[in-house]
A and B are shown apart, each in its own frame.
Chain A
Amino acid sequence: MTAKVEIVGVSKAYPGVRALDAVDFSVEAGEVHALMGENGAGKSTLIKVMTGALRADSGVIRLDGDEIKLDSPGAARAAGIGAVYQEVNLVPSMSVTKNLMLGRLPRRLGLVSWSRARDLARERLKRLGVDIDIERPLGSYSVAIQQLVAIARALDDDVRVLVLDEPTASLDAQEVQGLFDILRDLKQRGMAIVFISHFIDQVYQIADRITVLRNGRRVGVGTTMEMPSFKLVSLMIGHDLLVAEQKPPTFHLDPNAAPILIAKGVGRRRVMEPVDINLRAGEVVGLAGLLGSGRSETAKLLFGAIRADRGEIFVAGDSVGAASPAKSLRLGMTFCPEDRKSEGILSELTIRENIVLALQSRRGWLRPLSRREQDRLADEMIEALAIATSDAEKPVGQLSGGNQQKVILARSLVAGPRVLILDEPTRGIDVGAHAEIVNLIRKLCEQGLALLVVSSELDELVAVSHRIVVLRDRKQVAEIPGSDITRAKIIETIAGS
């Protein structure tokens, strides 16, 4: 069998980053080829190159053995490559017909022939076994149907290669099976399918081959038989099994201490299966899992930033009831979000204002902190966390990423929490600041804080955690007690082998 699409030695560099470094990839007719990798692995760049959205710096793309130039999305289409991107590029307020046929409306005498358009739209959907009223607005259908419409739109008559970026991200289990039935059918008919997903179980259900990318390089390729989940996760996370394990430092911890935070079966439909997590004073619990496993979602559910639709949260023995960030804060919980730009910093406001915000909202608007008090807190934090700035009156937007992260951490600490939830506390910061933050986490825990640390870096989790809760595919799958915490053990648990 000849390879349908073959990518050989493709490289792509952005200023300061090698997004793709001599990557090979191929997909054949009648196969589903999964493309796996963590954040920044180069998956998106690779599919953009493959669909003509991005031009590679070097490398060759062959279609059925002939070299082709994919310098625009149109060229890729003409070559028979169709794609459905993660962010569905459809218009919910328009009818299904228009969504399907926009840009390729059949014309007669220069005017759009709507009856012909409807026939064509129906035919496209029939190929996927979808039977819906195509005159209704797309937005009135479920996400699953919308996803199928997006696929139908990508499946032009001559499409032979279909690229699906996270097609199952917002589908429930039943809808995923429905989609897989359709994919299997397409496969039977000779379609070459590139499947990108974070869900390991799904990949093993549907894929024939797997390619793993890490930091812009291809680190592994093989059939699903050759690539058991343990190996897959190791390749994705980049763990060398031969490296000696670094023993976690032992902390003093009272094993009989009552938990401060208890989450019982807290979850939300389509977001996260119910989780059970306890946190005791002076304890660091790590939350491990791959991208998309529900790490941030779990943290946000516990803090009330995502409203749970099941389960109950107790703080110091009392039920929280309907959780919200304001309520959690009052009960002594604080949260440092992963995405500091969109959820963390107030870039126009000064460092001082950013630092006192959570404490101030805990006190309420009628009990303002005096300016002197604010200055004292800000200066204290700038010194304690070594925030690099000339003074506290600088807008936070002018600081570097690592220092912004520290300001958000300072905001949480100043509010006087008993429970601190850190979502990726070291994301995007340099090595020096990284070590400082890891040390800080240890120090806080010695002071009797209960910490929940979400991190994609296993070394970090191993270094700070007393226990590690492992998530996979939006489910809590295991809890690793302190004595067992090693990187290998975490990977093994994530892989589920």
Chain B
Amino acid sequence: MTKETLSAGLAERAPLVGVKALLRHRMIWPVLALALILIVDGVISPGFFRIRIVEGRLFGSLIDILYRAMPTATVALGMAVVISTKGIDLSVGSIIAICGAVIVWRIHAGDPHFVILLLALGTGLLCGLWNGMLVALLDIQPIIATLILMVSGRGIGLMINLIYGGTNPSFNSALLQGLSVGHISLIPTRLVVGAGIFLLLWLLTRRTAFGLFLESVGGNPAAARLAGVNTRLIIYSAYLISGICAAAAGVILTADTHTSDPVSEGLYIELDAILAVVIGGGSLSGGRVYLGGTLLGALVIQALTTSILSSGLPPEYNLVVKAVVVLIVLLLQSSNARTALVSAIARRKR
């Protein structure tokens, strides 16, 4: 008993080195989860890690996971920014639907495709402006404020279809499809786009003071305000960023399917995005923004989906298995659950 308390005391005082420091690191659980999923995949289906070059592009399960995760990851990055301010953006799926409708409408109208791309991003910006106005200026609770656009957004998409009497016609656009399903030398373009958005946001939050302001507003808005931070402006910008990220995902998804269906496009993507942020270590009570973790979180979710589908398990199992794995990752993230686990193990040892 004395020995135990002694060693426990020592461990507490000893500098966190090696494995212990690694285990304390907030990124360790999403990384481990991703690694575990991939290892299981590797065992189940040999050749899982093989990456070939087919028709001048990279091809393989790993690339496939990255490829499919990209829309969710893009949305999740914007969500991470919003969540760091103690907010939430439920409207991202609807923003995707609106952007899709705008793209198809303007293609039908014959606009230059470069202009259409800008219009789509502008639509996301406009949606962000609306959400930001409700949350930052009118002080409406974020969950309610963004619920408004979440509910109405798909209706707006359908109304845009009415403008030209469209019933989700398919389209071809070298520019938009190039961004979505094309590739730059060996690498899928959308991975480059996703990496670009990640890099931009990383620079914004870590190489300007914007990140510090975001985290101060999310952590303690009263204190941030007294320290001179323009809290309304910071919260406003978070929703703008989320709107643009959702619009980027909207371009990729719309071009991917060659059509737009406001009823189903990007449906439930907000839930995956929120999950990705939380798996990545973000807390819904705000105060911290983890972009790298969020990216990992999106990959965990997609890797899981892909491996369930490729494991031969009936696709009906997908959602439930996904939920179980997510639950486990979240339990490992929760300090309460971890403390309970540690003390349970300690009790058994005794």
Contacts and interface: CB of A to CB of B under 8 A. Distances in A.
B139 to A, nearest CB: 15
B305 interface: no
Given A363-B209, A367-B209, A369-B209, A305 B216 contact: no
A345 interface: yes
B208 A365 contact: yes
Interface in B184-199: none
B219 A365 contact: no
B224 interface: yes
Nearest to B206: A368
Residue from B210, B216, B222, B228 with most neighbouring chain A CB atoms (10 Å): B228
Given A325-B228, A326-B228, A411-B227, A361 B219 contact: no
B223 A361 contact: no
Interface string A238-261: 000000000000000000000000
Interface in A148-173: none
B225 interface: yes
B288 interface: yes
A361 B208 contact: no
B333 to A, nearest CB: 15
A78 interface: no
A337 B228 CA distance: 13
B228 A345 contact: no
Interface in A336-367: 337, 342-349, 353, 356-358, 360-367
A368 B209 contact: yes
B25 to A, nearest CB: 14
A462 interface: no
B226 A360 contact: no
A354 to B, nearest CB: 9
How big is chain A's contact interface, by range? 20 to 34
B209 A325 contact: no
B223 A346 contact: yes
A330 interface: yes
Given A360-B209, A360-B212, A305 B225 contact: yes
B220 interface: yes
Contacts of A328: 228
Contact of B223 (A303, A344, A368): A344
Contact of A348 (B208, B215, B226): B215
B216 A358 contact: no
B30 interface: no
Interface residues of B, number: 21
Contacts of B224: 346, 357
B287 interface: yes
A345 B222 CA distance: 10
Given A348-B288, A360-B212, A343 B207 contact: no
A345 B219 CA distance: 9
Contacts of B226: 303, 305, 325, 335, 337, 343-344
Nearest to B283: A348
A406 to B, nearest CB: 15
B227 A357 contact: yes
B280 to A, nearest CB: 16
A329 interface: yes
Given A325-B225, A349-B216, A361-B228, A366 B208 contact: yes
Residue from B215, B225, B227, B229 with most neighbouring chain A CB atoms (10 Å): B227
B219 A349 contact: yes
B230 interface: yes
A337 B227 CA distance: 10
A56 to B, nearest CB: 35
A368 B207 contact: yes
Nearest to A333: B228
B228 A329 contact: yes
B67 interface: no
7 contacts: A335-B226, A337-B226, A342-B220, A344-B226, A358-B227, A360-B212, A365-B209
Q: Which 9 pairs show the lowest CB-CB distances between chains A and B?
A: A329-B228, A361-B228, A346-B219, A358-B227, A368-B209, A348-B287, A365-B209, A343-B222, A357-B227
